[in-house]
Structure 1
Amino acid sequence: MDGHVSTIDLLEKAIRVISSPKVQENKELLEVKSEIERVLSEIKSAQETFMYSTDPDMIDYAIYKEKAEFARLSYLFKVAKRINNIVNY
């Protein structure tokens, strides 16, 4: 493996994070959950733009938007992990 995380893996991880009971116990984790939900919405929007656009510029936009949102999602996982480790101590 090349260390690359698949789209499905990221989405499944997002669902686990926002569904975790620990989220309800911590205000910072609730904020991260809210951001993850926004990112998932943006990813869905970018995918719909890609699927229904015929303009090459809009297709490029959708591809880059989705890629940027997945990078944001990865960052939010790191934030959630950092918060969770602090909460556990």
Structure 2
Amino acid sequence: MNKKNDITKKNVSHHHIFKTFYLKVFKVADKKTEEAQLLCDIKSALREWKNAENIFQFVTSPDLIDHAIYRIEAAKLRYIHLIKLAKKMNMKGIL
């Protein structure tokens, strides 16, 4: 009976070690994936902002000018928001 308890304790111990290792590995992987996605979103937001500014240069209709200004401001705010998120996550090399 004592031998059976020893085996059960070892299994629980191995299970705990494996679970701890698994969670640490995937937590790091999830953080790297999250950072990579955020970096991709930041690059996309910057391209969107630049595209909106380029569109503004070529529109002539007052309605389209208003729309272009709206797009510039929206893209700028999205970019700023994403930069703040990256800073909050202590990401390096984003600027």
TM-score normalised according to structure 2 size: 0.57
2:66 counterpart of 1:54? no
Matches within 5 A, 1:24-63: 26-63=32-69
CA-atom RMSD, angstroms? 1.8
The number of aligned residues is 61
Bigger Rg, which one = 2
Q: How far apart are the structure 2 equivalents of 1:68 and 1:40?
A: 11
Report % sequence identity: 36
2:58 counterpart of 1:68? no
Q: How far apart are the structure 2 equivalents of 1:77 and 1:41?
A: 14
Q: How far apart are the structure 1 equivalents of 2:33 and 2:88?
A: 14
5+ unaligned residues in a row in structure 2: which ranges? 1-30
| C-alpha contact 1:47 1:62 (8 A) present in aligned 2 | yes
- Give the 3-state SS of the residue equivalent to 1:26 in structure 2: helix
Shift of the alpha carbon at 1:26?
2.2
Q: How far apart are the structure 2 equivalents of 1:44 and 1:59?
A: 15
5+ unaligned residues in a row in structure 1: which ranges? 1-24
